[in-house]
Amino acid sequence: MKFFHPAADIFVPDASVTPEAALARTTHLCVAAHQDDIEIMAYHGIVECFGLADKWFSGVVVTNGSGSSRTGIYGNYTDAQMQDVRRLEQRKAAFVGDYSIQLQLAHPSSAVKDRANAAVQSDLSAIFAAAGADVVYLHQPADKHDTHIGVFGHSLTALRQLPPHQRPKRVYGCEVWRDLDWMVDSDKQVLDVGRFPNLAAALVGVFDSQITGGKRYDLATAGRRLAHATYHTSHATDQFDGITWAMDLTPLVNDPSLSVAEYTLNHVERFKQDVAARLAKFA
């Protein structure tokens, strides 16, 4: 198993399994931009597989983590040192979450944001083909982080290049740097993330460089999930202890003729129409 960047990291928590076998048995796969994105956006996939023998979650981090915010004990760390810290933290999360395999491709953000970058494309194409996952978690196309959109774009292109019979059954676009609460309820994919709260806390908590470094992702992630569960419906008791919303990207993967911009903006238009209709009735 070889990837473009020499610093690419391959970690299999179960040392008795080869990387090739660990990737091949994957049923749920997340491709994310940065270390800790996986644990925020794809906890649904982690918990769907946790403790089971017939389902396996795997994670892919595309960038090298060099641009991380830093303060406190990490305040004077160089980019190279931060990359080492972030790589190790991601390995810790993979061990805690019992991932099948954790891949860190170590591309700089500049490469990811280059839509024509062949190296990023080649790595992702090889991973999708080898994994053959049933469910894939990607960044959602209305995210406000440019690197996230870059990873989403490369991932979508790679998935579309797969033969139809090798494409995942379901592809979710997940929240990180923009909630999907704004989507109309009929468009929302409800992902139950209320199970094993101790595991959820541990997975985000291992990223000490971010939490100590000034970003309380541990508290914010738990709060977002609880808020979504409570505000899901106004006239019913909570059905889940935690929810993340997702956008169904499966049609985009299966029909390469669909425009990503049009598909995404159609969700925005339906939200606009929902607001306008309610105002017309009562305002």
* Type of residue found at 165: H
pLDDT at 32: 98
Q: With contact defined as beta carbons under 8 Å apart, do 146 and 110 qualify?
A: no
Give the pLDDT band of residue 191 (cuts 50, 70, 90). very high
Mean residue pLDDT of the chain comes to: 94
pLDDT at 117: 93
Average pLDDT rounded to a whole number, residues 92-121 = 96
What are 222's two structure tokens?
């738990």
Q: Which residues of 223-239 are buried (b: 16+ CB within 10 A; e: fewer)?
A: ebbbebbeebeeeeeee
List, for residues 20-32, the tens digit of each pLDDT value: 999 999 999 999 9
- The reported pTM is 0.95
pLDDT at 73: 84
pLDDT at 96: 98
pLDDT exceeds cutoff 90 at 215? no
Domains and CATH numbers, the chain: 9-256 (3.40.50.10320)
Cα dist from 72 to 34, 37, 76, 210, 213, whole Å = 21, 22, 8, 10, 6
pLDDT at 75: 79
